[in-house]
Chain A
Amino acid sequence: MINAVGRDIPDEILAMTGKEPFQGNHYKDGVPFRRAAPIIRPVMSNDHSKMVKDIHEALVKCHAHNGMTVSFHHHFREGDLIVCMVMKEIHKMGLKNITLAATSLGKAHDDLVPMIEDGTITRIEASGVRGKIGEAISAGKLKGLAIMRSHGGRVRSLVTGETRVDIAFIGAPTSDDYGNLRGIGGKTNCGVLSYSYVDGDQAEYVVAITDCLVPFPNFPAHISMTRVDYVCVVDSIGIPEKIATGAAKPTTDQRKLMMAEYCTQVVVNTPYFKDGFSYQTGVGGASIASTISLTRIMKERGIKMGFGVGGLTKPMCDLLDMGMVRLLLDTQAFDLDAVSNVINPAHHRITAGAYANPFNKGAFVNRLDYVILASLEVDVHFNCNVVVGSDGVITGAQGGHPDTAQGAKCTIVICPLLQGRIPAICTNVTTVTTPGESVDVVVTDYGVAVNPNRQDLLEALRKADCVPLKTIEELRDIAYSIVGEPDPLEFGDRVVGIIEARDGTIMDVVRQIKPKN
């Protein structure tokens, strides 16, 4: 069946998953649902201990079984040790058919590939997959489906009960013996625990894993003891230097600086740029550079930001320290400056649900004026692909891309026209992860294109004469004139993964890759 972004979703996939094809951003707006509730085992006795001596004991106490679903967060990013530590124990116990429901998976989890090959892990649900697991899925090694969903979409799938987590493992920089967890104060800090909050709410069992046990109560807790069944102390939960490094040095690459300048010009010349505006940006060189150049113009014009939200970096924290933003709402700390800035009283932790869950009674993303995003590919329909490489291999994550793109009043995607020989602006993206209806402006090194649905923005930018305006088709044509039109990829028939829309419908499918030689 062809969905609202023109993708053919095979009937057997619709039947197998019980899902509907994507029907547009507002299909589920206002449609009531009943929130799922987990089984809880109350603790009333005053001498109950939550401490377990190792992961194995935790697994046994939580009734680990074949076919169960286990969940993890990715706050430790490339430095995560928790997922492999737990999965190795599950593997040792000989358990099979496990669904791995992590908020994201990356290079830190390359060691899981043999467990995919031997049937320990047969389904994966994640925001996306980088590294060798992505290659393994694209090569058809995962027996079941990989489901890629946005951060907001993941929270939705948990609160609707679509994903039922049997055991949630929460890596916690600090915990007390009763399971009050914080993202700071230990030896392996990640600042916040936003992604895991919903796992605490919705999983049947919750196991905290820490390498820094602190006296009770570990307060104020980021995740409360009221949600935690067991606490396990291990030697090390992560590699600090791979979790958050020092702030990236501002880029000196003129191409990125140019794109940053175009992006800033788009922001300051569109109508939402006024005192109290809201803003989110990413960690790419151009995104960071645009925050820096935006700061300059905010100072010149005496305009302050109302709130900044999402994954945070030093330039955003600098805004807070300078009093240029009223408050920051943090879902993830990308550098050490952001981790340590959490102590600023106007730097608030929010949950992934409050941030982006489309099935809330409203999420923060709905109140965004601007979001600055990156993309691997953008097509002439403004559809973005942030998960599947142009070679057809799964290599990225949705993250909050579809959530913020839909929510923000002005969604700006920065992407260089060419990545080596690969045209980033193309006729059809390899895989649709964010629908074109969510994307308003595309900034490239060759010019800026505005979605024709947004004549208001186009008019404002034309009047300001501040950036080289092109149509998206013109940008595509320039790209193809330089590198040639790419041949269509050849895929196998088997669907190895689905790209879920925020509302749980199917945006696109990912097929097994067929290498060409």
Chain B
Amino acid sequence: MIIGKSAVAGTLESSDAQVTVEPSESGLEVEISSSVMNQYGRQIRATVMKTLERLDVHSGKVTVVDKGALDCTLKARVECAVYRSNDIKDAMSWGGAIV
């Protein structure tokens, strides 16, 4: 999937993460900041990268502002932003690209 247009998902509340995706010509750029960077930065990046890979996103700018979200929330916010950037809302691939 490509990043069709800019889209945002999530909030800056505690235990949440805000994910912004923007189209880009030059490959995939992922920027992460987190209130728990020192202890969980590596795991957050791994979760975000894996989710993007499942969605088959290989280019675009992805910005994650994490406020201590669990992995399940990170995945949900990344997916939401990516699908929003393509205006896809129905017939989702539950258990397929979304796992």
Contact = CB atoms under 8 A, between A and B. Distances in A.
Interface of A: 390-392, 420-422, 482-484, 486-487, 489-490, 515-517
A392 B36 CA distance: 11
Contacts of A421: 15, 36, 39-40, 68-70
A422 B38 contact: no
Contact of A516 (B41, B67, B70): B41
A391 B39 CA distance: 7
B40 A515 contact: no
Interface in B66-85: 67-71
B43 A487 contact: yes
7 contacts: A391-B38, A391-B39, A420-B15, A420-B68, A421-B68, A482-B70, A487-B41
Contact of A486 (B40, B69, B70): B40
Interface string B41-72: 11100000000000000000000000111110
Given A420-B14, A422-B36, A483-B70, 16 more contacts: A391-B38, A392-B38, A420-B36, A420-B67, A421-B15, A421-B39, A421-B40, A422-B39, A483-B40, A484-B71, A487-B42, A489-B38, A489-B39, A516-B37, A517-B37, A517-B41
A480 B57 CA distance: 30
| Main SS at interface, chain A | loop
B35 interface: yes
Nearest to A514: B38
A486 B35 CA distance: 13
B68 A422 contact: yes
A486 B43 CA distance: 9
Contacts of B67: 420
B39 A486 contact: yes
Contacts of B35: 420
Contacts of A516: 37-38, 41
A-B pairs with lowest CB-CB distance, top 10: A420-B68, A486-B39, A421-B68, A391-B38, A421-B36, A516-B38, A489-B38, A484-B43, A420-B14, A487-B39
Given A420-B68, A421-B15, A421-B70, A515 B43 contact: no
Contacts of A392: 38
B40 A391 contact: no
A482 B68 CA distance: 12
A394 to B, nearest CB: 14
Nearest to B37: A516
A391 B68 CA distance: 13
Contacts of B14: 420
Nearest to B67: A420
A106 to B, nearest CB: 21
Contacts of B38: 390-392, 487, 489-490, 515-516
Contacts of B68: 420-422
A143 B70 CA distance: 39
A486 B40 CA distance: 6
B70 A390 contact: no
A483 B34 CA distance: 14
A515 B38 CA distance: 7
A490 B37 CA distance: 11
Contacts of B69: 421
Nearest to B66: A421
Interface in B21-41: 35-41
Nearest to A426: B39
Contact of A391 (B36, B70, B71): B36
Contacts of A515: 37-38
A479 to B, nearest CB: 12
A44 B36 CA distance: 61
A483 B35 CA distance: 14
Contacts of B41: 487, 516-517
A489 B42 CA distance: 12
B11 to A, nearest CB: 14
Interface in B2-27: 14-15
A482 B43 CA distance: 13
Contacts of A490: 38
Nearest to B68: A420
Contacts of A420: 14-15, 35-36, 67-68
B27 to A, nearest CB: 20
A417 to B, nearest CB: 13
Contacts of B42: 487
B41 to A, nearest CB: 6
B62 to A, nearest CB: 16
B73 to A, nearest CB: 10
A512 to B, nearest CB: 13
Contacts of A391: 36-39
Given A421-B68, A483-B70, A390 B15 contact: no
Given A420-B67, A421-B70, A484 B36 contact: no
A482 B38 CA distance: 18
A393 to B, nearest CB: 9
Q: Which of B39, B43, B71 gathers the greatest number of chain A CB atoms within 10 Å? A: B39
